[in-house]
Chain A
Amino acid sequence: MNAAKPMSAANPMSEQQAYEPKIVAFLCKWCSSAGSDLAGVSRIQYPANATPITVPCSGSMSPMYILSAFNKGADGVLVSGCHIGDCHYMEGNFLARRKIHLVKELLQFIGVEENRFRMSWVSAAEGAKYAQVVKDFVEDLRPLGPQEKLKAQRT
């Protein structure tokens, strides 16, 4: 889909203005979820589009979770973990890095927009970064519109 038309009173695409991308954010318990907490403690405001699911470690992210999120209608999926070398469980994020790379490549290969799936390293000290990651993600997702390619058409 093309870039969004500028928002203005003259913009007839009122559905596009009302469209709010739904993001599922998988956050690792020790770094990214704590970083998200810090954003809260610091009262940094960011869009409410991302619903967090806390998992023990980015290494526990089965590719099935990502595919399932898209299958259930997520417009965007975020996976966030500890920085390389800082994983609370030592090696989890190294394992995650490989698997997520494969999932990302495969999604792009079949033609799912690159911007719908992303991974970030957010440490417990990076509250501002988490907020920015979500902000950027929402902005990048808006022009793409609702995700229909992998979404199950269930009643």
Chain B
Amino acid sequence: MTKKRTGVFVCHCGTNIAATVDVSRLAKEMAGEETVAFSRDYVYMCSDPGQNSVIEAIKENNLDSVVVTCCSPNLHEKTFRDNAARAGISGFTCEIANIREQCSWVHKNRDEATAKAIKISRSAVRRVARNQSLEPIAVPVTRRVMVIGGGIAGIQASLDIANAGLEVVLVEKLATIGGHMLQLSETFPTLDCSQCILSPKMVEVSRHPKITLMTYSEVQEVSGAVGNFRVKILQKPTYVDPEACKLCDECTVVCPVVVPNEHDLGLTSRRAIHIPFAQAIPASYTLDEDSCLGLNPIRCGKCKDVCEAGAINYDMLPKTVVEDVGAIVVATGFDLYPQEKILEYGAGNVEDVLDGLQFERLCSASGATKGHVLRPSDQKEPKDVVFIQCVGSRDPAQHCAYCSKICCMYTAKHARLYKHHVPDGRAYVFYIDIRSGGKGYEEFVQRAMEEDETVYLRGRVSKLYRKDGKVRVLGTDTLTGQNVEIDADMVVLALAMQPSKGTEEAAKVLKIGRDKDGFLAEAHPKLKPVESVTGGIYLAGCAQGPKDIPETVSQASAAAAKVIGLLSSDTLNHAPTVARVRRSHCTGCEMCVTACPYKAIRLENGKAVVNEVLCEGCGSCTATCLRAAIEVKNVTQLQVFDMIEACLTV
């Protein structure tokens, strides 16, 4: 190995450094170092003349590495590295010695500060002496994107990404996109009709030239890494050709099978062959294999007989599709906490006790009761409706510890909608707190209380049960100190939001982490809310945590922006200061594999192998390995050893 020829450039930073540190002495001391071939001080190294002088010095003195002793690397490391590259040497052979923020600005005594500056600079010189001339790792990327989940988050992300010119494959489990937002009647705080604001986006997705829509499909397997994922998707057969289907509805008339309609949350029923709802995208019927009497052999066949368009095909097979994409957005949404788990409130067995989504279906014009609020038990109009907030949320002892964020708002909305439908009815809300932080939210809740005369009771409901055709609700009002008993016609429970089943499945297949409540784990709770820990996989919507529609749409666009940035060129530039294995020392014990926060190390033929694209160079592996068989380039153990020695040499 030829000896390094390092150039040391000592910056005065005007008087910021020079007033306290003897910069010319520092330059002289560095000149005495074995690997230093050139050492000089200058008033402003980051300035144009300063940087040019570095380039000149590199060329004239045949330098192969540079140490700039100046301000914090956070400010100008990139500047000086790019500068070194312009002079023809690797940017990674340029290191910064911070003698300003960590020295001249915090000490007054000139001798002490100079002595410390010498140690810091010597430390950098010794380190650079063993720096490799690394170049950024260029990873070619596939400039296509997969979005998993076709609710509002997935739809928004898909549109943003497709509008930026990237191809999108949108995979949705159900036969239609739209998600839970499609089941809503109106949305807070404007009481816009949910379908009216969602439908145009759904249509845009279906018509967008850059979006391939795969409904009734599920992701089975994912391999590869950021920039290059290979995804296997199972497309289930709908047994109906979407191009041919005319939506005439003749098939449902003859289908003998009747099952609960999932879209109406069991409040209505559907046939085995059905369309989830009238404006489904794709606009086509679907034959649900699980409830059909039998396709192989064909037990019934009536739907096919009546289909004039000839759209029904019992011979459709499941298809496995393989897609290569550079990034994945996971927007698999939420489910409501199961009512069955709330034993105090009837465990789902008390009639006329509904969850929020069911209430939405009652209010919705396309729903079970054509928009009239009627009791499921006897189809009569309820005159007393009790709404209970925080059912299952904020309950660390028995259910979910967290707050589900949207319930205060949608309960106020439900109360208002109920009062708009049944003006002479009485609405009661049992609450612990009111969380109405968004724009127009607080005013909305106040209007529920004042204009729509909803009675807000600050207290919890201990129990409810059926009595004489009504639901007796036993609660308390802590502000008056009285217990409250209401014989309600209907009760609506604001159940907690939990991660959907699809979220759990997606996390397993993608191998991305989930937090303690099962929501997808973000890479950093404050600074990286839409990135998963795994490079190239982004999160959006309620799969990451409870949130309302404006936040969901924001997150979806944020995830889209990250994806667009990631795939903005044909290659990804990844920092080359990654881990490297010394195979002769590696015994394949896998401690580094376990320790790596990025799962960037795997065992191959009994030795550790680093995926340089996933490795972030944190060094956890280095510290864990008992044999120094793995270390991070340009921060090797030997380099740290030299730095320690330099710090302790007087």
Contacts and interface: CB of A to CB of B under 8 A. Distances in A.
Direct contact of A and B (CB under 8 A): yes
B616 interface: yes
B105 A43 contact: yes
Interface in A59-107: 59-65, 68-69, 72-74, 85, 88-92, 95-96, 99
Contact of A59 (B74, B618, B628): B618
A55 interface: yes
A37 B98 contact: yes
A43 B106 contact: yes
A36 B106 CA distance: 10
A48 B112 contact: yes
A57 B620 contact: yes
A7 interface: no
A56 B644 contact: no
Most buried by B among A40, A72, A99: A40
A45 interface: yes
Nearest to A60: B619
A53 interface: yes
B106 A131 contact: yes
B244 interface: no
Given A51-B116, A53-B644, A64 B637 contact: yes
B346 interface: no
The prevalent SS among residues of A at the interface is: mixed
A57 B619 contact: yes
Contacts of A90: 523-524, 533, 597
A74 B109 CA distance: 22
A99 B626 CA distance: 12
A68 B641 contact: yes
Contact of B644 (A38, A59, A60, A68): A68
A51 B123 contact: yes
Contact of B101 (A24, A37, A91): A37
Contact of B623 (A33, A59, A88): A59
Given A52-B120, A56-B619, A60-B632, A46 B597 contact: no
B632 A56 contact: yes
Contact of B647 (A24, A48, A63): A24
B624 to A, nearest CB: 7
A44 interface: yes
Given A64-B637, A92-B620, A24 B115 contact: no
B161 interface: no
A69 B644 contact: yes
B264 to A, nearest CB: 43
Contacts, number: 133
Interface centre among A37, A69, A74, A92 (most CB of B within 10 A): A37
B97 to A, nearest CB: 10
A116 interface: no
Interface in A15-48: 22, 24, 33-34, 36-41, 43-48
B640 A59 contact: no
B381 to A, nearest CB: 52
A95 B624 contact: yes
Contact of B106 (A39, A57, A59): A39
A21 to B, nearest CB: 12
Nearest to A131: B106
Most A CB contacts (10 A, CB to CB) among B72, B112, B598, B637 go to B72
A68 B645 CA distance: 9
Contacts of B597: 89-92
B648 A40 contact: no
A55 B640 contact: yes
B184 interface: no
Interface string B306-340: 00000000000000000000000000000000000
Contact of A95 (B113, B123, B620): B620
Contact of A24 (B108, B616, B648): B648
Given A39-B101, A62-B628, 18 more contacts: A37-B72, A44-B106, A48-B113, A48-B115, A51-B123, A55-B635, A56-B617, A57-B619, A59-B619, A60-B618, A62-B640, A68-B641, A69-B644, A69-B647, A89-B616, A92-B619, A95-B623, A96-B623
16 contacts: A37-B74, A40-B103, A40-B105, A48-B112, A48-B115, A53-B643, A56-B577, A56-B619, A60-B622, A63-B623, A65-B641, A73-B648, A89-B618, A89-B620, A90-B524, A91-B595
